[in-house]
Amino acid sequence: MYKTVQVKDIIIGEGAPKICVPITGETLPRLIAEAEQVRTLDLDLVEWRVDFYEHADDIEMVKKTLGELRAALGDMPLLFTFRTSEEGGQREIMPADYVALNQAVAATGQVDLIDVEWFNKEQHVRELAEAAQAAGVRVILSNHDFDKTPPAEEIVSRLCRAQELGGDIVKIAVMPNSMADVLILLEATNRMKEQYADRPLITMSMTGRGVVSRLAGELFGSALTFGSAGRSSAPGQVPVGELRGILSLLHSELTKG
Ligand SMILES: O=C1C[C@@](O)(C(=O)O)C[C@@H](O)[C@@H]1O
């Protein structure tokens, strides 16, 4: 049984893909300015990419800034992500600190979702996911390959593993080195959605080459797409102002049959 994920009044896994916009400020004033800007845009969720933040290694500072960010964002659904440099992010972190940071943030009740990297780090993932879920926070289990696109079987098997590990949503981002790689990602997404997915999945092929994967998620099975407002957090993100129109067009054509 496929189970959608409701975050506030957004239902992920139903209808057109939801739009998530990352904010990437290094300082509190930058973050607040970005929060105020994104509030004016047509989007569904905001992602705080805390690895860009200057005090990301200080849990107390992160919690304080999160409080201010939450106030600036109002009711908008918020995803908290520390992206490690191993998976394309801005900084390194010790596994124990990663778990402690995510656990502390989930316990504040001020985020709606957290992103947890699981690949090669399975040991603490279940524990972290369960603690977050017990605090009412949804968990995206994610994996990123910034060098290549693994074969479709491998992509599907990683997404299945992330389901087994207990994510509410499972995600993979891969790098295409050819258009054939983009097709591999789309094929894997479609196969996952049709045969194995019991919860929403998010997939993307990065850079301009992979852009179709950020637009056509509803056709192939990806439930959410990251759009940019200002600085993008990964290559290939489409400006958010243009995204909704494209997603809506594809949705209406698809539902016409
Ligand atoms: O994992 C993802 C997806 C992403 O890497 C992208 O390719 O859009 C952007 C990140 O901010 C986010 O955490």
Which residue shows structure tokens 């957290």?
Answer: 114
* Tokens standing for residue 50: 């805390």
Q: Is 82 contained in some domain?
A: yes
Q: What is the rounded distance in angstroms from the CA atom of residue 118 to the CA atom of residue 109?
A: 22
Q: What is the rounded distance in angstroms from the CA atom of residue 229 to the CA atom of residue 3?
A: 30
Q: For residue 1, name the pLDDT band (cuts at 50, 70, 90).
A: confident
Question: Closest Cα partner for 213 from 163, 168, 149, 159?
Answer: 149
The domain containing residue 110 runs over which residues?
Answer: 5-140+216-250
**19 CA to middle of ligand 1, Å?**
12
Q: For residue 4, name the pLDDT band (cuts at 50, 70, 90).
A: very high
- The closest-lying atom of ligand 1 relative to the alpha carbon of residue 226 is 8
Q: What is the rounded distance in angstroms from the CA atom of residue 238 to the CA atom of residue 188?
A: 22
The answer for 28, left when phi > 0, alpha when psi is -120 to 50, beta otherwise, is: alpha
Tell me, using a 6 A CB cutoff, whether residue 184 lines ligand 1.
no
Whether 121 has a pLDDT exceeding 90, the answer reads no
Q: Is 198 contained in some domain?
A: no
At residue 230, the pLDDT reads 85
Tell me the DSSP string of 194-257: III-SS-EEEEE-TGGGHHHHH-HHHHTB-EEEEESSS-SSTTPEEHHHHHHHHHHHHHHHHH-
Q: Is 230 contained in some domain?
A: yes
> Which residue's C-alpha comes closest to atom 5 of ligand 1?
234
Mean of the pLDDT values across residues 199-207? 98
Q: For residue 226, name the pLDDT band (cuts at 50, 70, 90).
A: very high
Q: Is 204 contained in some domain?
A: no
Q: For residue 61, name the pLDDT band (cuts at 50, 70, 90).
A: very high
Q: Is 90 contained in some domain?
A: yes
**204 CA to middle of ligand 1, Å?**
8
Q: Is 88 contained in some domain?
A: yes
Whether 60 has a pLDDT exceeding 90, the answer reads yes
* Tokens standing for residue 91: 């900084």
Whether 124 has a pLDDT exceeding 90, the answer reads no
Which residue shows structure tokens 């893909």?
Answer: 17
* Tokens standing for residue 161: 């593993």
Q: What is the rounded distance in angstroms from the CA atom of residue 224 to the CA atom of residue 234?
A: 15
Tell me, using a 6 A CB cutoff, whether residue 117 lines ligand 1.
no
Q: Catalytic amino acids? A: 144, 171
- The closest-lying atom of ligand 1 relative to the alpha carbon of residue 115 is 13
**29 CA to middle of ligand 1, Å?**
23
Q: Is 58 contained in some domain?
A: yes
ipTM of the complex as predicted: 0.97
List pLDDT tens digits, range 158-185. 999 999 999 999 999 999 999 999 999 9
Element (H, E) at 66: helix 59-73
Q: What is the mean pLDDT of the chain?
A: 96
Q: Is 9 contained in some domain?
A: yes
- Tally the domains of the chain: 1
pTM, rounded to two decimals: 0.97
Are 192 and 159 in contact, with CB atoms under 8 Å apart?
A: yes
How close are the terminal C-alpha atoms of the chain, in Å?
23
* CATH number of the CATH domain containing 22: 3.20.20.70
